[in-house]
Amino acid sequence: MSPPSAKAMVEVSGVTQRFGTTTALSDVSLTIASGEFVTLIGPSGCGKSTLLRLVADLLTPTEGTVHVAGKTARAAREAQDYGIAFQQAGLLEWRTVLRNVELPLELHGVGARERRARAEELLEVVGLADVADKRPSQLSGGMQQRVAIARALAAKPALLLMDEPFGALDEMTRERLQDELLSIRAREGTTVLLVTHSVSEAAYLSDRVVVMSPRPGRIAAVVDVDLPLRATGTPTDVRESPEFFAATTVVREALRAPARVASP
Ligand SMILES: Nc1ncnc2c1ncn2[C@@H]1O[C@H](COP(=O)(O)OP(=O)(O)OP(=O)(O)O)[C@@H](O)[C@H]1O
């Protein structure tokens, strides 16, 4: 077995995941470079969440290996090398919204004053400053998801693992948070692995879109996305650019006939 490579943030090698008689993933290998933004897309049940959970060490692969930041997935979890925002927000009901966002900072031993300032800043970013003192159950599903996103970002992790983080949000909030995520990523050099069902979201955010096929889940195609206007244009320029439309077309086609590696 080859050692994990130095510059890879995530290295999944020959992973098969079985649940009883169900093979959720079959021989999946994926390397994500440090600073890369990769999305997983594919039909329901193709194993996207399973792959994310393996990287997060919430599952141990039946076969194969997973390395994160040059360590085993277990060691990376223990070192809290990544932030997680999953479909179920997973907030702690006995803590206020603010104290939920502070949690990863507490675990990293950050002092109370700095913790509070950072959590307040992030609640501002996700547009929830005014509900900082509420309990999670007093918030709508979309608001809870935004708290989970703020919490995932709190400790400025080198790696963000996100499972449909924008799923329950209205279109305007979704686009605003997508842009916020891109600017945080540009600022901090964060590596992101994100699961989505949205072709346009995948094309808009990613350096690479990994298209998965169902039963058993495999990587069917990898689409490189290059949107030159990301560097110089506004979000609207990017969303209306021919390169963006070309990328969404290639991803859509790969989803329909997933059997090749493609580039727009
Ligand atoms: N803990 C588990 N126990 C048994 N089967 C599981 C478990 N987790 C996932 N599966 C099965 O593995 C397969 C892949 O599930 P997974 O949730 O990874 O798919 P997905 O692509 O994320 O789906 P969706 O897009 O609907 O969220 C499915 O057949 C699912 O039923």
End-to-end CA distance of the chain: 34
3-class SS letters over the chain? CCCCCCCEEEEEEEEEEEECCEEEEEEEEEEEECCCEEEEECCCCCCHHHHHHHHCCCCCCCEEEEEECCEEHHHHHHCCCEEEECCCCCCCCCCCHHHHHHHHHHHCCCCHHHHHHHHHHHHHHCCCHHHCCCCHHHCCHHHHHHHHHHHHHHCCCCEEEEECCCCCCCHHHHHHHHHHHHHHHHHHCCEEEEECCCHHHHHHHCCEEEEEECCCEEEEEEEECCCCHHHHCCHHHHHCCHHHHHHHHHHHHHHHCCCCCECC
Bridge partner list, 223: 209, 262
| One-letter identity of residue 230 | R
pLDDT at residue number 258: 45
pLDDT at residue number 229: 82
CB 192 within 8 A of CB 10: no
Q: Is the CB–ligand 1 distance for residue 49 below 6 Å?
A: yes
101 and 172 both lie in a single domain: no
190 and 129 both lie in a single domain: no
Mean per-residue pLDDT, 54-83: 92
Stated pTM of the model: 0.89
- Tell me the CA–centroid distance for residue 46 and ligand 1, in Å: 7
203 and 150 both lie in a single domain: no
User: Mean pLDDT in the chain?
Assistant: 89
60 and 91 both lie in a single domain: no
Ligand 1 atom closest to Cα of residue 197: 25
The CATH code of the domain that includes 226 is 3.40.50.300
CB 136 within 8 A of CB 100: yes
Q: Is the CB–ligand 1 distance for residue 213 below 6 Å?
A: no
Nearest C-alpha to atom 7 of ligand 1 is from which residue?
Answer: 19
Please give the C-alpha separations between residue 240 and each of 93, 96, 243, in angstroms, as whole numbers.
41, 40, 9
175 and 217 both lie in a single domain: yes
Residue of 229, 207, 107 whose CA lies nearest to 157: 107
260 and 190 both lie in a single domain: yes
The tokens describing 44, both together, are 């329901």
Asked if pLDDT for residue 261 goes beyond 50, the answer is no
Q: Is the CB–ligand 1 distance for residue 146 below 6 Å?
A: no
Q: Is the CB–ligand 1 distance for residue 211 below 6 Å?
A: no
| One-letter identity of residue 174 | R
Nearest C-alpha to atom 6 of ligand 1 is from which residue?
Answer: 19
Mean per-residue pLDDT, 70-75: 92
140 and 152 both lie in a single domain: yes
Domain boundary among 156, 190, 219: 156
Of 46, 59, 162, 211, the one to substitute when testing ligand 1's pocket (max ligand atoms within 8 A of C-beta) is 46
* Model confidence pLDDT, tens digit, residues 118-139: 999 999 988 899 999 999 999 9
Task: Kindly give the interhelix angle for 141-154 and 97-107, rounded to the nearest 10 degrees.
Answer: 20
Q: Is the CB–ligand 1 distance for residue 126 below 6 Å?
A: no
pLDDT at residue number 5: 55
Q: Among 78-82, 199-203, 244-248, whose mean pLDDT is lowest?
A: 78-82
Domain boundary among 129, 156, 183: 156
CB atoms within 10 A of CB 107: 11
- The residue segments making up the domain with residue 62 are 1-81+163-264
63 and 189 both lie in a single domain: yes
227 and 241 both lie in a single domain: yes
- Tell me the CA–centroid distance for residue 51 and ligand 1, in Å: 10
CB 25 within 8 A of CB 219: no
* Model confidence pLDDT, tens digit, residues 178-231: 988 888 888 888 999 999 999 999 999 999 999 999 878 999 999 999 888 888
Nearest C-alpha to atom 1 of ligand 1 is from which residue?
Answer: 19
CB atoms within 10 A of CB 183: 12
Domain boundary among 138, 156, 174: 156
Which position has the higher pLDDT, 154 or 62?
62
- Tell me the CA–centroid distance for residue 216 and ligand 1, in Å: 11
64 and 167 both lie in a single domain: yes
Mean per-residue pLDDT, 43-71: 94
CB 183 within 8 A of CB 152: no
Counting the structural domains of the chain, the total is 2
